[in-house]
Structure 1
Amino acid sequence: MWFIENETAQPGGRMCDQCASPLPANTGSRRRRLWDLPHQCHCPVVGVCLPLAALRQLVNKALGGKAIADDYEVHVGAVAECTQRNRLSELLQKDLESRYARTVQAFKFAKDTKAVADLWADAVRQGDVSGAFWATLTHPRCDEVLQEVVLRDMHMLQHQAGAAVRIDLTKFNELIKENGVLGRELGRVQERCTRVITEKAAEIEQLHAQLVQQRAIVIGKDSRIAFHLQDMEQLKASLPDFENTSRLRKKIDQLTARQAELETQNAQLRQQLSEAQRSPSLRESAAQPAPAAEQHHDTPKESPITFHLKAKTILCVGGRNGNVANYRDVIEKAGGNFAHHDGGLEDKQGALDSILAAADLVICQTGCISHNAYWRVKDFCKRTGKQCVFVENPSTSSLTRTLQQITVDDTHGELAENTFAQ
């Protein structure tokens, strides 16, 4: 083979006399080519600066076929071909220049041998010597002394790299064993995870089926509720005055409760009266007025009505439910029409606006009315200019005094208008 023959041309790997001669002084700027380097530089350059895969590819390209030699024979043949300019050495030169173009460009700024040596020393400290090794050997300011220093440094670096490789191989073998143990443990963990995932998937599927069933039950219940509501609405629509009937029933219940309360109070009073008639001392105590705490409910007093409402509609908003009948009696005796709304406690607030619109005078019992109804009454009367009187005391006597004062004011106002007209 071609590299075996060339290698035997120099037995024992000895340098020829031409390679052993001192380097000529180079004062120009032209960088040396691969075949310009001494033969002792070719082996470290090819071995360090070119990966084996790239070297084999270049050798195959130079031969025009595939080399059947092993890595050592390819390396020895390539080193032998670097002593002169040929197709393989040119391919190696081109690949090295392209591969380390950035480092070569950085070394161009070195203008003397010391600057080149400093750049090489920095590369050795950083541990990246492949590109710096090629750039230093081919630099035009690399003399024989620097070349010898670089070759020695590279020789020692290769020894250290070999020792590091042996250490790395030992660690690598240990890592392989540890990786095997971890791989087996990982397999067991994956098996457990697969089993757990399968169980959880089955549980999720079961829960999903239960969820679908519960959703169907809820939908059925919602459908029945909707049907019942629809039937209730139809039933309400078929019954005349359903809302009025419901409201009247609530009022009847309230009046029934009030009647039972009054009957109980009447029975107590009858019992006290009978006891007072039997005992003179109790008769005297019965003649005394009852405390204010016992007069919680307003009892109408028979007093003459000295004012006339002239068929006006008087709306009472709020007040005690037990006094509504007394309110009605006072207003109707004074010649007015009575209307009432409980202020949102039982009656619907939606009907309040229509009642307010039909009233001539509004009496608002502020102590027995909801906040919403209070503000609605106040806003409506303010917008429409309707006369409205706010009363804090919900008693019948207070209502009587209020109406009397209103009629007196209205009478004075009419007199003043008539006098001004005359």
Structure 2
Amino acid sequence: MCDQCISTVAASAGSRRRRLWDLPHQCHCPLVGVCFPLSTLRQLVNKALGGKAMADDYEVHVGAVSECLQRNRLSELLQKDLESRYASTVQAFRAAKTTKELAGLWADAVRRGDVAGAFWAALTHPRCDEVLQEVVLRDMHMLQHQAGAAIRVDIGKFNLLLREHGVLARELGKAQQRCTQLLAEKSAEIEQLNSQLVQQRAATIGKETRIAFLLQDLQQLRASLPDYENTSRLRKQLEQLAHRQAELETQNAQLRQQLGQAQRALSLRGPEDAPALASEPQQDPIKEAPITLHLGKKTVLCVGGRNGNLAHYREVIERAGGQFAHHDGGLENHQGALDAVLGAADLVICQTGCISHNAYWRVKDFCKRHGKQCVFVENPSTSSLSRSLQQIAQVP
């Protein structure tokens, strides 16, 4: 053993940690190689030299190892960097109070594979004796061999992965090209659909605008025809009257046919039937009750009644010199028009049996408020209407 090694082992009995230049020379090479990245080592060498080292990585490593034998500018920089870089590991190794505990910490670090900081902390620990130092150096030597073998394996794997990466990169490029083309097609399709959507919206807005204008025109037309509802109602009444007229014409044709048959039967009878006919009692003709009231072209409103009797109502009132008007009392005609016809009438005849309750009370209230003469008739027949007119004539 060299003198330096003997002095180092003897010094290990104290509590002071050894410095980089206190370690044996065989420790410097693995320390510099394992604990310093090449880039960091070159920076420290350049800093110690005050310039840029032009040597290659191996020469820088050899020079740094040789400078670690003694305390100098470079060894102090390396010492400071090691203490700063592996401060947490050094602090953890301070817990070891014996060589055995220190050896246990080193073994744990080897099993974990984190040996750079543990290598520095173990070699500089005050309880690291010559035996443990030799064990640590041997372990690090084998770890370096294993690392070299692993690197060779990793390089092979890396080359394989590199080739696979090239294949996958080409496939990815093709996939990206297809995606780009598909995206461009979809974008063009979306633009076309958006254009169609805008056109459809414009067409819809145009149609809605035209509908709004037509509705406005329709409202203006209805506003310009205030009697639109009355006209519709009168048109419906006209259709009913035309239907009734057709029924009456059919009935008249039947009566004419019966009359013709009776006349032919009478002409076929001989003179000998004349005394028999003369001896038959003569029936008195049906006499209509004369109407002594003269309405003087007043408007007579008949509210309610049967639609089939409207023609008879009109005949009776016009024979008395009046003008006939009619409202069905809300059965078919709109009740909103009832006040209008009531206001235009001079005389009101209310058929109470053929109108709604609402129309009845409206007629009664309107005539009472406006002082119009009103006669209530329960029977909707023509004779009842004639008697009502007679009652009006008898009122002073």
Fold in common (TM above 0.5): yes
SS at match of 2:13: coil
Name 2:105's counterpart in structure 1.
119
SS at match of 2:9: coil
Q: How far apart, in 2, do the equivalents of 1:249 and 1:192 lie?
A: 76
Q: How far apart, in 2, do the equivalents of 1:339 and 1:135 lie?
A: 115
Q: How far apart, in 1, do the equivalents of 2:210 and 2:15 lie?
A: 100
Name 1:39's counterpart in structure 2.
25
Q: How far apart, in 1, do the equivalents of 2:121 and 2:11 lie?
A: 18
RMSD, aligned α-carbons:
4.0
- Per the alignment, do residues 232 and 145 of structure 1 end up closer, same or farther by CA in structure 2, a change over 3 Å counting? same
Q: Shift of the alpha carbon at 1:164?
A: 0.4
SS at match of 1:140: coil
Q: Is 1:185 paired with 2:185?
A: no
Name 2:217's counterpart in structure 1.
231
The correspondence for 2:82, drawn from 70, 90, 96, is 96
Q: Is 1:135 paired with 2:135?
A: no
Tell me if structure 2 keeps the 8 A contact 1:60–1:67. yes
SS at match of 1:183: helix
- Deviation by residue 1:114-149 (Cα, 9 ceiling, x = unmatched): 111111111111111111111111111111111111
- Per the alignment, do residues 340 and 158 of structure 1 end up closer, same or farther by CA in structure 2, a change over 3 Å counting? same
Name 1:274's counterpart in structure 2.
none
Tell me if structure 1 keeps the 8 A contact 2:8–2:23. no
Q: Shift of the alpha carbon at 1:171?
A: 0.5
Q: How far apart, in 2, do the equivalents of 1:158 and 1:252 lie?
A: 119
Name 2:151's counterpart in structure 1.
165
Name 1:213's counterpart in structure 2.
199
Name 1:154's counterpart in structure 2.
140
- Greater Rg by CA: 2
Q: Shift of the alpha carbon at 1:162?
A: 0.5
Tell me if structure 2 keeps the 8 A contact 1:332–1:338. no
Name 2:95's counterpart in structure 1.
109
Aligned amino acid, residue 15 of structure 2: S
Aligned amino acid, residue 55 of structure 1: L
Q: TM-score, normalised by structure 2?
A: 0.60
- Deviation by residue 1:160-184 (Cα, 9 ceiling, x = unmatched): 1100000000011111111111122
The correspondence for 1:85, drawn from 39, 46, 71, is 71
Aligned amino acid, residue 102 of structure 1: S
Aligned amino acid, residue 88 of structure 1: L
- Deviation by residue 1:342-374 (Cα, 9 ceiling, x = unmatched): xxxxxxxxxxxxx99x7999xxxxxxxxxxxxx
Tell me if structure 1 keeps the 8 A contact 2:8–2:24. no
Q: How far apart, in 2, do the equivalents of 1:101 and 1:155 lie?
A: 24
Match runs of 1:203-352 below 5 Å: 203-240=189-226, 242=228, 248=233, 338-340=356-358
The correspondence for 1:174, drawn from 156, 160, 165, is 160
Name 1:71's counterpart in structure 2.
57
Q: How far apart, in 2, do the equivalents of 1:43 and 1:213 lie?
A: 82
Q: TM-score, normalised by structure 1?
A: 0.57
Tell me if structure 2 keeps the 8 A contact 1:20–1:38. no
Q: How far apart, in 2, do the equivalents of 1:19 and 1:162 lie?
A: 29
Deviates more, 1:207-216 or 1:126-135: 207-216
Q: Shift of the alpha carbon at 1:113?
A: 1.1
Uncovered stretches (5+) of structure 2, i.e. residues with no partner: 252-305, 307-328, 336-348, 366-396
Q: How far apart, in 2, do the equivalents of 1:70 and 1:20 lie?
A: 35
The correspondence for 1:30, drawn from 16, 35, 41, is 16
Q: How far apart, in 2, do the equivalents of 1:77 and 1:197 lie?
A: 61
- Deviation by residue 1:12-65 (Cα, 9 ceiling, x = unmatched): xxx964346661143332211111111111111111111111101101111111
- Deviation by residue 1:189-218 (Cα, 9 ceiling, x = unmatched): 222222222222222222222222222211
Name 1:54's counterpart in structure 2.
40
Q: Shift of the alpha carbon at 1:88?
A: 0.5
Q: Shift of the alpha carbon at 1:242?
A: 4.5
- Per the alignment, do residues 220 and 173 of structure 1 end up closer, same or farther by CA in structure 2, a change over 3 Å counting? same
- Per the alignment, do residues 252 and 139 of structure 1 end up closer, same or farther by CA in structure 2, a change over 3 Å counting? farther
- Per the alignment, do residues 168 and 243 of structure 1 end up closer, same or farther by CA in structure 2, a change over 3 Å counting? farther
Aligned amino acid, residue 104 of structure 2: D
Tell me if structure 2 keeps the 8 A contact 1:26–1:141. yes
Q: Percent identity?
A: 69
- Per the alignment, do residues 337 and 149 of structure 1 end up closer, same or farther by CA in structure 2, a change over 3 Å counting? same
Aligned amino acid, residue 236 of structure 1: R
Q: How far apart, in 1, do the equivalents of 2:183 and 2:353 lie?
A: 88
Uncovered stretches (5+) of structure 1, i.e. residues with no partner: 1-14, 268-298, 300-315, 325-330, 342-354, 362-422
Q: How far apart, in 1, do the equivalents of 2:354 and 2:192 lie?
A: 75
Q: Shift of the alpha carbon at 1:245?
A: 5.9
Aligned amino acid, residue 153 of structure 1: D
Tell me if structure 2 keeps the 8 A contact 1:34–1:89. yes
- Per the alignment, do residues 235 and 183 of structure 1 end up closer, same or farther by CA in structure 2, a change over 3 Å counting? same
- Per the alignment, do residues 153 and 47 of structure 1 end up closer, same or farther by CA in structure 2, a change over 3 Å counting? same
- Per the alignment, do residues 335 and 184 of structure 1 end up closer, same or farther by CA in structure 2, a change over 3 Å counting? closer
Q: How far apart, in 1, do the equivalents of 2:125 and 2:67 lie?
A: 21
